[in-house]
Amino acid sequence: MRADWDRRAKENARYYVDTSRKDWSDDEFFASGELAISQDISTDMTNICQEKDPKQMRILEIGCGAGRLTQALSNIFGEVHAVDVSGEMVAQARSALGGRPGVHLYQNNGCDLSVIPQLEFDFAYSAIVFQHIPSREIIETYVREVHRLLKPGALFKFQVQGYIATDSTPDDTWHGVAYSEPQAREMAERCGFEMRYSYGAGVQYFWLWYFKNA
């Protein structure tokens, strides 16, 4: 995964992060992140914040890429810790966001969150990342790792591939494994979460709301 994503990042990181354009300007790229976060996060603050002040919240992002969503998240939340398997992607995120107060960027091993210091998190988020991971075992390891780091009752909101017909092979780091609604619910139960909501079963952007059991 690391070699493939480093290669994509060197070739054209922003294109592989969002394939709707090949020639993103800085402004357009980060505006697309603001738009995504306004749709995924700003409309859902009751579930995400649970009455906390967002500026007092510490949040986790898995698969930050070149920092497109991280920047928008850091405009809302006090502390953002973001990991990515690709050192090239993290370098690009650092060059765009380095020095922003409250932003912490890490290259991780592509499987777990051992790189994150022992901290408790108020919310975790991941978009357009698990849809590329070709292994259920790795995705489930991430879910267990998020469970380890989240406070009881807190939300992990994330997106997986829901289009079951997508072909995936173990070494395909573009087309990840797909989940049905029952598979997503069973994973939540195995990992100590309640899957309270889902949206988009059967399509690419299958969103899951996992609340850590109190």
Q: Any contact of residue 132 with ligand SAM (CB under 6 A)?
A: yes
Structure tokens at 209: 């709301």
Q: Any contact of residue 128 with ligand SAM (CB under 6 A)?
A: yes
Q: Which residue is nearest to ligand SAM (CB)?
A: 65
**Sign of the torsion formed by the C-alpha atoms of 13, 19, 25 and 30:** negative
Using DSSP, how many helices (H) and how many strands (E) does the chain show? 7, 7
Q: Any contact of residue 149 with ligand SAM (CB under 6 A)?
A: no
Token look-up 């072909």 returns 167
Q: How far apart are CA 41 and CA 109, in angstroms?
A: 27
Binding residues for ligand SAM, how many (CB under 6 A)? 21
Q: Residue 197 gets which letter from DSSP? A: E
Q: How far apart are CA 126 and CA 28, in angstroms?
A: 21
Q: Any contact of residue 133 with ligand SAM (CB under 6 A)?
A: yes
Q: How far apart are CA 41 and CA 96, in angstroms?
A: 21
On the 0-12 / 13-18 / 19+ scale of CB atoms within 10 A, 189 is: exposed
**Minimum distance between the CB of residue 156 and ligand SAM, rounded to whole angstroms?**
15
Q: Any contact of residue 65 with ligand SAM (CB under 6 A)?
A: yes
Q: Any contact of residue 63 with ligand SAM (CB under 6 A)?
A: yes
Q: Any contact of residue 14 with ligand SAM (CB under 6 A)?
A: no
Closer of 133 and 184 to ligand SAM (Cβ): 133
**Minimum distance between the CB of residue 90 and ligand SAM, rounded to whole angstroms?**
8
Q: Any contact of residue 129 with ligand SAM (CB under 6 A)?
A: yes
**Minimum distance between the CB of residue 152 and ligand SAM, rounded to whole angstroms?**
25
**Minimum distance between the CB of residue 96 and ligand SAM, rounded to whole angstroms?**
11
**Minimum distance between the CB of residue 10 and ligand SAM, rounded to whole angstroms?**
12
Q: What is the CA radius of gyration of the chain?
A: 16
Could you tell me the strand order of the sheet in which 103-107 lies?
A: 103-107, 79-84, 58-62, 121-126, 150-160, 206-212, 193-199
Q: Any contact of residue 68 with ligand SAM (CB under 6 A)?
A: yes
Give the residues lining the site for ligand SAM (CB under 6 A): 1, 5, 16-17, 63-65, 68-69, 84-86, 89, 108, 110, 127-129, 132-133, 138
